[in-house]
Structure 1
């Protein structure tokens, strides 16, 4: 499929495809395990005219139309936008909250179970359960993000300043294009977890000595209990993703545009379809950041029930990994698509939010259920992938294939079931979590080794799971 390999470093290869070049950021072990289909998909994506850049992070794996783990860039003035290169769960991302607890403080299993149960009281984890927050106006949330939430849910300036963005602006008249079905399905979903790979995880921090000063500036310490949250825009983003995949397909047929991949949809940014999708995608980003905020609010209520009303729960950072956004690069505005890719800006970069201008912001990389997650810091040389790193470990195979080859006993062993160090989970039956176990994902340590080896980011801290809340 590729004609040539230009090796830029131990974990950065540039492959010459028939229709353009793709940069692959992966160490040797990860690179040679990437499935062939991923390179076919890269070439199909590169058929989209006027591509500025396409890169694969080490967690890359086949998705619908575009691989998860893709960074794809066009000039905003004459480029393209694609719902396939954003993904259906628009705005899906990570959030991390800090506590003053040390892991020894919650070593007792009964205390961790009590904490899980308290969290589930305040966070709906069933797909059939709607939000507890009936005073939240869905229209205000999708228009204004965190600014659309009632004031009582915003506990201080930190809530608005320690996020990649607390509000994405667009012309509200675009909301007239939203089908009534999407409004109906999304109503009542703010503050709900969702299923699949979404989770709330209680973790313990191990600081990397090379970045200890940065970690301490951020408020991290060894053994610290933190909470990582992974969720997105729920039915709002999913409905928009499906609707505009259909609309883009019809537009491409009308314009006579074709691609070998029937699931890859795209349109000029300046077209009516492109402008409408961009605006509605921003509405989903607003939904997603508000949803994670309210999930964290619910988790905080659970901690307060166990540890008292004075329990503090400051946010470290909130960021996304399924979106397209206009960013200034190379002295012009670019439309940067990140599908399963995380922004990781270095210290001093002008795109950093003010709270992290000096150090660079935390980039949150989850592992699989039962393995470590990472808090990273972007490097200057990350510009070679438009400051994008991985968003997780990535899947080596499909969910169904994992279920066929992995047993529940293996999952139990990976979670340390029955031992003093057991990673507790809210599910009584692990049968439903086989496709979310450590065996369902690539080796996260190799993924991180690739990111560091490529010069995209460094490790600030590693966090080990103590307890997990998953959707049911």
Structure 2
């Protein structure tokens, strides 16, 4: 059956990317939810990646595409963690430099001083203008916080936002958003410090990107925090009202959708864009804090370099093969190949890095777009993807309570910051698909190839 198959459902067909192992694990609930999503009119393409799982009334792993001329916008597909994504920084350190567990613990303590890990500790950046950040994204930050790579090594540095669409957001939510700038948030969001292994296949691309064997990097996974969730109260009733007026069918799971050309649909697009701006600045400020924390340990001359920042929950206007589309990605990552015109200039000759986190204690991957990318509108997986295993299956690892060190299957040790056992079970490797099977599908389907495998050394999560 290979790595990709067309699935016919009552309301239409979709493309499923899954190898034999992944395909055998997909529950019937996924197909029910996919059938629901297919009821939104005018879709020209719909697919699910191998990390697929149901989240609310939609599937994580969705790519849904419309022609821009008669396209629809769906807040349900985008979700509320708008702009959630991955940012990766390179360092000049080698994993041998972090061999001492006590040093890893010292790094954790230093980072915790710069990155609030509970909502009880407010943002260190409350003096920044929230309004400017929501409207302009990274360009709103002063030179104190930005360098040459800040705008050039990102998927999207700024999304245009009409300020009037934010006027009806409560002051309480704006204050909350101010208090959360530069903070991680809970759930599956995390900071990981990792070491790099480079396969033979893409060694030259790795070299061009500044990667080397054994290199220490750090990865940030978070999004728009409470701001993205707060927007739901401002559009939900309007969407329902307009859907009724336009006599658009309500799906069994009550998906929200409207023509993008409708004023309410366009208003949501601008509101969503404000959350994209917030999310990119949020990850940027977390990276700024981590760099300062590491300088406390390794000296003022220590430097990091941003490799790339990209999102996996959003809807964007994109041009492919001279045609403009509205592309929704919910839990999928854009992976453009070499010479695609939407690549940042710095990555035009190679394609940009596509950043795929594993689960706590398992590898993450840095990939690059492949020859068949256009078949899936250049979307690949966004991570391992949950399987919601129960706690009895979580015995694949052991925790050294004294050092708070996770011992995983390959006897590697991963040092954690302090958090509860319940959270440990929730985010353990057993609650996720095997990331190697997920990436095997992506590589087998020629949507992308692996440039680096990244092994966790330190994992930091909210408490």
- The TM-score bracket by the shorter chain reads over 0.9
Matched, 1:91 2:83: yes
Matched, 1:457 2:448: yes
Does structure 2 conserve the Cα–Cα contact (< 8 Å) formed by 1:84 and 1:245?
Answer: no
Q: CA deviation at 1:148?
A: 1.0
SS of the residue corresponding to residue 57 of structure 1 reads strand
Does structure 2 conserve the Cα–Cα contact (< 8 Å) formed by 1:65 and 1:265?
Answer: no
How far apart are the structure 1 equivalents of 2:395 and 2:301?
40
RMSD: 1.8
Q: List aligned pairs for 1:94-243, cutoff 5 A.
A: 94-154=86-146, 156-243=147-234
Does structure 1 conserve the Cα–Cα contact (< 8 Å) formed by 2:72 and 2:258?
Answer: yes
Q: List aligned pairs for 1:206-355, cutoff 5 A.
A: 206-355=197-346
In structure 2, the partner of 1:3 is: none
Q: Could you tell me which of 12, 16, 25 is aligned with 1:20? A: 12
Q: List aligned pairs for 1:427-466, cutoff 5 A.
A: 427=418, 429-466=420-457
Matched, 1:70 2:58: no
Matched, 1:412 2:399: yes
SS of the residue corresponding to residue 30 of structure 2 reads helix
1:15-73 CA-to-partner distances (Å, cap 9, x unmatched) read 12222210011101101211111111111111111101001000000112210000001
How far apart are the structure 1 equivalents of 2:97 and 2:319?
45
Q: CA deviation at 1:133?
A: 1.5
How far apart are the structure 1 equivalents of 2:256 and 2:289?
37
Matched, 1:369 2:360: yes
How far apart are the structure 1 equivalents of 2:419 and 2:336?
40
Q: CA deviation at 1:432?
A: 2.1
Cα distance, 1:81–1:438 mapped onto 2, change above 3 Å:
same
Q: CA deviation at 1:291?
A: 0.3
Q: How many equivalent residue pairs?
A: 458
Matched, 1:36 2:23: no
Range with bigger deviation, 92-101 or 32-41: 32-41
Compute the TM-score of the two structures, normalised by the length of structure 2: 0.95
1:254-280 CA-to-partner distances (Å, cap 9, x unmatched) read 433333333411111011210000001
In structure 2, the partner of 1:402 is: 390
In structure 2, the partner of 1:4 is: none
Gaps of 5+ in 1: 1-6
How far apart are the structure 1 equivalents of 2:236 and 2:211?
42
Does structure 1 conserve the Cα–Cα contact (< 8 Å) formed by 2:119 and 2:180?
Answer: no
Does structure 2 conserve the Cα–Cα contact (< 8 Å) formed by 1:387 and 1:456?
Answer: yes
How far apart are the structure 2 equivalents of 1:354 and 1:407?
44
Cα distance, 1:170–1:429 mapped onto 2, change above 3 Å:
closer
Gaps of 5+ in 2: none
Does structure 2 conserve the Cα–Cα contact (< 8 Å) formed by 1:73 and 1:334?
Answer: yes
SS of the residue corresponding to residue 211 of structure 1 reads helix
Cα distance, 1:412–1:27 mapped onto 2, change above 3 Å:
same
1:365-423 CA-to-partner distances (Å, cap 9, x unmatched) read 000000000000001311111000000000112xxx634x3457845289218x98420
1:285-308 CA-to-partner distances (Å, cap 9, x unmatched) read 000000000000000011000001
Q: CA deviation at 1:135?
A: 2.3
Q: CA deviation at 1:161?
A: 0.4
Q: CA deviation at 1:169?
A: 1.3
How far apart are the structure 1 equivalents of 2:5 and 2:180?
42
SS of the residue corresponding to residue 164 of structure 2 reads helix
